Every structure is written in C-alpha cells, then in structure tokens.
C-alpha cells in the first residue's frame, strides 16, 4: 500500500482518482478547501461516492453538511480528508509532517477561463502560489514524485493541429491559461534544482459523471432537462476535444506508474482523445440523448475562449500506453444517465 496525496480530491476529477486509488488498495490523503465556486455539498456527495468501498455506512446517507464531522467520520487507515487551503504553508506542512507521502497528484486550482478574466489576481494566488507551496512542501519533506494538472488552454489559438507537446505555448489568451503555463515552468524549476520527478498533464475538456455544475455539458443537460434556453456563444463552430473522465483517470494512473518507475523525469503530456466536436454537434448530441429540442440564445464569442482544442496523444501512448476507450456518444449517455439519477435542485 502506498500513500498518495491528492489535492482537490473532492472535486470532479479528484474524486474519481481517489476512488480508483482506493480500489487499488492505496491510502489517500485528500486536501480540499471546499471553496464557494459551487455548492460545497456537491463535493460532499463526491466524497461519499468515491469512498463508498471504504465507508459503505456513509454511502447511503444523503449529505452530512458539517465538514468537521465529515473529516472525522471518513478517517481510516486508507483515507483521510484534510480541509485546508494550498495557499497556507502552515496547513500543508502539518499534513506533510504527519504523513509519509509517496507521491502527490496536484489537481487543486481555480478553474475556468472566463472567471479568470474577472479576477486574475485570485487565479494567480491559488494556481501559481498554491502550486509553489505544494512544491515547497514536497521539497522540505523529501517527496520526489508528483503529477500536476495543466490544461489544453495553454495552447491558446494555436493554428497547428493537432496540438503537440512540442508546440510553443507562449501566447496564452486568458489568465487561467497563463497560470497553468506558469505551473509547468515551476515544475521544471523544482525538477532541475531539487530532483522532483514531474509529469505535467494537459487535460482536454473533461466530462462525465460528477462533472462540475458550471461546465458546459452539465449546464446544457440541466437546461434541456428543465426546458430552459441554452446560451451559445458564436455560431457554434468552436471545436473541443472532449475527453471522458474514465479515460482521463486511466491516463493519470498510467502517468503515475511511469513517474514512479523512472528517475530524473520531467515530461509534459497531453490527455485528450485526438477527436474534435463542434459546439453545434455537442448540442445536437445532447438533444438526441435527452429527447428534447434546445431553445438557443446566440451571443457573441467570449474573450479568452479558444477556437478549438485538439490533442495529439501519441506521446502519452508511447510513454505509458494511454489509449482513450470511450467515444463521445457513449460518454454523453453515461453522463446523462448519471445526471438523471443525481438531480439536486
């Protein structure tokens, strides 16, 4: 049994990762600050779902609303929840002092392109300073293996497709993208100076069960389900490389195994599908799955939104056998099925 620290482990991707690490018999320390970007009870439900194998008596409960109580009741030999902020060095030191951590999977961040334009200082504070704190905690406590979530947004409006890890990514068009590029550079700095083996994972538009309620697919499904009007920015021609959560988790676990087996590793790796879907085709797929015609309000394109994302995943395949398995229609069906069984308000 190894001990893994997952930051943002109560979120969409993080809760799925914790679930798989627990299923493999490992110990998980989940650091999450339960910020107010969306209802914190969503994250509590994520924890109850992801720890069902460890705490079956909790899985059937609706939602304990007290985080202090939740920290106590989910404490076990295999799982520990720490409500803490990665911007607090003292809080991180307390965790790393009390645990022998084998590797860190750093997923915690302020996410979203458009909100980063409204509050770039917050994004710099959480994403850059918070990541630097994680790296400092690792350095001080002798943890030398980590994965960090980057983003396809670092490619900006790259004209060359599909996007390759060798492409120049110096032309971000949002503060969010700029913070993710900064994290990649910090990762290389600590690799070079302190021998912290690193893989930066550039995620491409992740969707699936437990997806954050503020993301497009979740919002659109909810609006279609309620007969509400959908907002479409532009003419619906923007394209995204939508990646199902199960494929992302397989990629993370593959990268984790790779970095644990190697010495002196720094890699930047795309995790996507090597396929793109237009916004109009996304809406059409949701209409077909739900059986409802969308009412669409068309607005101008938003600042910071890229025209397309399109991943070259050959490097991930070469390094650790990454091969996405879930086609878009299947992934959408799985998400809508999950949504219908988990409506909350």
Considering only CA atoms, which of 19, 3, 21 is closest in space to residue 11?
19
3-state secondary structure the chain: CCEEEEECCCCHHHHHHHHHHHHCCCEEEEEECCCCCCCHHHHHHHHHHHCCCCCHHHHCCCCCCCHHHHHHHCCCCCEEEEECCCCCHHHHHHHHHHCCCCEEEECCCCCCHHHHHHCHHHHHHHHHHHHHHHHHHHHHHCCCEEEEEEEHHHHCCCCCCCECCCCCCCCCCCHHHHHHHHHHHHHHHHHHHHCCEEEEEEECCEECCCCCCCCHHHHHHHHHHHCCEEEEECCCCCEECCEEHHHHHHHHHHHHHHHHHCCCCEEEEEECCCCCEEHHHHHHHHHHHHCCCCEEEEECCCCCCCCECCECCHHHHHHHCCCCCCCHHHHHHHHHHHHHHCCCC
3-state secondary structure 262-309: CCCCEEEEEECCCCCEEHHHHHHHHHHHHCCCCEEEEECCCCCCCCEC
> Does 176 qualify as catalytic in the annotation?
yes
The crossing angle, in degrees rounded to 10, of helices 130-141 and 89-98 is: 30
Residue of 176, 207, 310, 339 marked active site? 176
User: Could you list the active site residues?
Assistant: 176
């Amino acid at each position: 049994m190894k001990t893994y620290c997952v930051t943002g482990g109560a979120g969409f991707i993080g809760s799925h990762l914790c679930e798989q690490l627990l299923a493999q018999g490992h110990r998980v320390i989940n650091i999450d600050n339960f910020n107010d970007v969306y209802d914190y009870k969503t994250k509590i439900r994520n924890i109850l779902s992801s720890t069902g194998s460890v705490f079956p008596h909790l899985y059937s409960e609706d939602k304990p609303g007290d985080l202090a109580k939740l920290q106590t009741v989910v404490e076990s030999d295999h799982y520990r929840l720490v409500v803490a902020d990665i911007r607090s060095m003292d809080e991180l030191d307390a965790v790393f002092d009390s645990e022998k951590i084998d590797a860190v999977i750093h997923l915690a961040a302020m996410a979203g392109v458009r909100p980063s334009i409204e509050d770039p200082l917050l994004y710099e504070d959480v994403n850059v300073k918070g990541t630097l704190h994680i790296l400092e905690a690792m350095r001080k406590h002798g943890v030398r293996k980590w994965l960090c979530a980057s983003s396809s947004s670092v490619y900006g409006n790259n004209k060359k497709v599909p996007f390759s890890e060798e492409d120049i990514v110096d032309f971000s068009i949002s503060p969010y993208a700029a913070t993710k590029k900064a994290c990649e550079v910090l990762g290389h700095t600590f690799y070079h100076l302190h021998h912290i083996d690193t893989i930066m994972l550039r995620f491409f538009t992740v969707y699936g069960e437990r997806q954050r309620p503020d993301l497009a697919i979740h919002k659109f499904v909810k609006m279609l389900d309620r007969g509400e009007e959908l907002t479409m920015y532009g003419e619906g021609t923007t394209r995204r490389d939508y990646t199902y959560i199960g494929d992302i988790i397989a990629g993370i676990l593959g990268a984790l195994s790779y970095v644990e087996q190697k010495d002196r590793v720094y890699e930047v790796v795309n995790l996507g599908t090597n396929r793109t879907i237009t916004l109009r085709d996304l809406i059409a797929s949701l209409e077909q799955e739900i059986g409802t015609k969308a009412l669409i309000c068309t607005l101008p394109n938003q600042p910071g939104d890229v025209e397309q994302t399109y991943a070259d995943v050959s490097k991930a395949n070469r390094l650790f056998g990454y091969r996405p398995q879930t086609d878009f229609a299947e992934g959408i069906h799985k998400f809508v099925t999950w949504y219908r069984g988990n409506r909350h308000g």
